[in-house]
Structure 1
Amino acid sequence: MSVGRSNNGLGLRRLLVAIGLPLVELRTEHADPLVRGVAILDPDDEPGSYSGELVLIIGVRGREAARPVRAAARQGAAAVAVKEATAELAAIAAESGVALLSVAAPVRWDQLETVVRQVLDSATLAEGFSDGPGDLFSLAQTLALLTGGSVSIEDAGNRVLAYSRSDDEVDELRRLSILGWQGPESYLALLREWGVFARLRAGEEVVRIEPHPELGIRRRLAVGIRAGTHHLGTVWVQEGREPFAERAESALLGGARLAAVHLLRQRSEHGRSREELVAGLLTGHTSPDLVAGQLGLDPATPAVVVAFTAREPTADEPVRELHLAEMLTMVSVHMASYRKGALVGADGARVYAVLPDARQLTGLVTEVTDVAEVLTRRTGVRVQAGIGSAVAALRDAGASRAEADRVLDAMGAARSVASIADLRAEVLLGETLALLEANPGLHDPAVAALLAHDAEHGSELVPTLLAWLDAMGDVRSVAAALHVHPNTVRHRLRRASAVSGIDLGDPRERLSCHLQLLLAVTTGVTTTTVRG
């Protein structure tokens, strides 16, 4: 029985992000088929045609599901979902050419079917937009993490568009709203009576709704989703067992601004996604005037670009993709809460925030540090951020982006956030060494001879000379650092000059030698590597 279909489909991994990885786990590696619909298969029924569909296999668990898994695969299923999926069943699914999902035991099949169908229905509404339909669900989940509550996003008619997954306690109102995909009329009437809707429609204000235990209603926060003077909907957050997070209202405000983008885009018949426009602006592939026109900005506005990256050791491509998606959503929410016009997009493995009207870095470092710390806590990997210089107009955002990238490239492990002003010397040195590395014809044979001498004789001429150059010729500080006598340092310096022929009295030769020794250290061409 087919219960939902999207024309172009949605990647399975993207679907999992939308419906919740803790609830459904992918058990077949490297599988990411397009899912175009969802169907339910009872093993007692004759299998139908499941071309491109996610098939929910009900009534059996574990090894018992082997026969229907094979049957669904033969009928063209893109993926199958089973409770208590074993490693043996995963092998059977892989052999049959179908992706296997393991569904958590407490999850009801009708709940899972409803959520999958809603995500796929959203895909149909958002056909043609590159950042996909799961974003409202992803946004709701991100806001739940940042606010510490349970989130739902509604349109102007109080119809539920997306909601967060939650293991927390939910009240009767939230349960009825999600089950019916619309707020109960009795409660909507109370909200009108209390003036909540009037405040939500009046402006960009986070409204607090106090708890009413006699009605089974917990405390809530709400904010209107707006586009100029137009009210598009509402983001609601219900308090759970714990109080709201300290900065819940700020996160909610940023989330509402992003929700407005999604809702407007779903109404549009043509256009390009916000993230695609931002990426095009930063790479120079999209006209700044087009970006400004699409996003309602003045192309002459000043801007600053901030680059975020995750320093993660994993080589698992799906994990990296998931971290990138999480970063993209979280950076969007947080930066929008700080800066109303913040634009966020991704290019490669980095996420970029373009901040219009940012003329100086005062206060920005603190904001970016907060975002980097939240990202690190939420994703479980170290996140660093580089801040470029302010540029005079949106058309120059690419120059600020290039500086932000250079800062990230030059940052060591000790820093989480830095600006180009903090690391200008390191950036200049790094680019100089990169230029030197790319042009081996500029390398001085004298330095190569010195490296070879140390490798052959086990001497310490290179580290001593490099320490002396770093210390600007202060022999005593070099001796203390190397734990040798100053006369030993002087002897090694004379020996280094004799072996290589480098005139250490010539400032230009010292500079050339210094750069090449630094390049040897940063690229690993040390005496140890030469020796072995």
Structure 2
Amino acid sequence: MITPPQDATLRQVLDHDEDGVLRLVLAPSGPDVPVRGVLIGDEDAARPHDGHLVLAAGLTADPAAAAERVRELARRGATALVLRDTGDGPPPAEIVAAARETGLALLARAGWADWADTVELVRSACAFAALGTGDRLVGDIAGGGLAVLAAEVARYCGASITVEDTQFRVLAHSATGPDADPVRQSTILGGKVPDWRVAELRRAGLLRALWSSRDVIHRAADGDDPERLIVAIRNGGEMLGSIWAAADGAGFAPEAREALRRAAEVAVPYLLQHRLRVGSERRREQHAVRGLLSGEGDRRSHMWSLGLTAQTPCAVVVAEQEESVAPFPERVFQALALQARAHRTGTRYLRESHRLTVLLPVPDGQDRDAVALARDLASLAAAMPDAPVVRVGAGPVVASPLTAAASAEEARLVVRALREREARADGGPPPRHAGPDDVRQSVAVLRVLDAVRPLWDRHGGPVHDMVAADRATGGDLVRSLTAYLDAAGDIPRAARRLVLHPNTLRYRLKRVRERFGLDLDDPDTRLIVTLAMRLATSDDGHDAPDGPDTGKASDSTEM
């Protein structure tokens, strides 16, 4: 006799948490309180929260108001409140006191995880609890995981079994003998159903039937391809994967179809757990890479999470596109990430909307390796049709991942230097990659500008007034002064760059003197103006475009 499904408990959820997504802060009613599901913030706030974990997404920062929210959740029957662990110490005393008073459990979500991880964890734990007890198949599997499930289902069905996710990757399979059909052999050896096979199944309509059917699908034998039974693994309406059974000579056992139906139900929590583990590993790695690149958090823990040692030299390479365009197209990002991964074993990367940052182990400690990767990434991006402009900078090699943040900072400065050089270039193809030695002086100037900017923002005077007034009217004077100073006072050369008549440029410089009282022949004034122009055209690392200047009608008539 099969006992009815049971609720999970808080203890089971925490025991199920192999990756440390949640940390128990307080359980005043004990760990065996029921957990029937998960709610996000004020989702379905009007209905009872009986037995649910509530995720504190958007919880007010006011401790008193948050404490009242805890009391409200307890009144509605919630089991626990999950807070985000900010790393700033324990939750506010008001929240802890309210939880202790009402019996509501408090949990903290790990800093590297996100709310989706918590949802997956609770769903997986609840799915395991819902299997019930007394079922012969469940008893034989006994929590052994997908490998045991595949082996036991093979025994019940008299067939060879593979368990696959929705991307047709093999998650588990039963024993494979030497007489296994070629498709099964190549699928297991490759860890994934071959692309040609997926295309064939799609053309035959089998995949459409699999996605839409809740019953076991039969596929007749065809030449060397044996008879197969397939069933989808679903959690409610969500497709998680599938189980494929291939007949082994004597055909399927009489109970094969029913065994596959039950196996699809039993597999749900395992596939949820697998997806949680894969997602957790990816987010934990991204959290560790981000921590090392920013120099934040426990850098040694980040380093160990990535399998690195303190004696591993490394360098950071940054590939970045303009923020004024859409984020990296997926195909461009995937190509760049694959190129970075292929460059050396142990390479890690961090994806942001307009930037790919690569943490590259450099065993020989030579800068040329990071520069070579920068060159390869820039060449790959330039060769892709319709790809955005990508500039790639390599930071210097540092002795340890613990100091990777210094290399990352320099790599970002190298990219800024490339942008500035391109904006100020007089012609010719601009370089799209560089190492620290290639733009050393430009990087030094950027560091000076970043240090000077706070002082400049507080500064007054005629140069400051001129920049502010000119920005409000289109920026002609700033562009003209920048070109004039870059050309070392050579008016014809500066005018060619601006696509202006030299007399127009002379008129603009005269206007600077007369309107704002700036004497460009004075060395101190020229230095301040030069700094001001560089700051005006380099907005905290995001350079303003500096293209040809067509001039205004008033300029051409006032020469």
TM-score range, shorter chain: 0.3 to 0.5
Give the structure with higher Rg (CA). 2
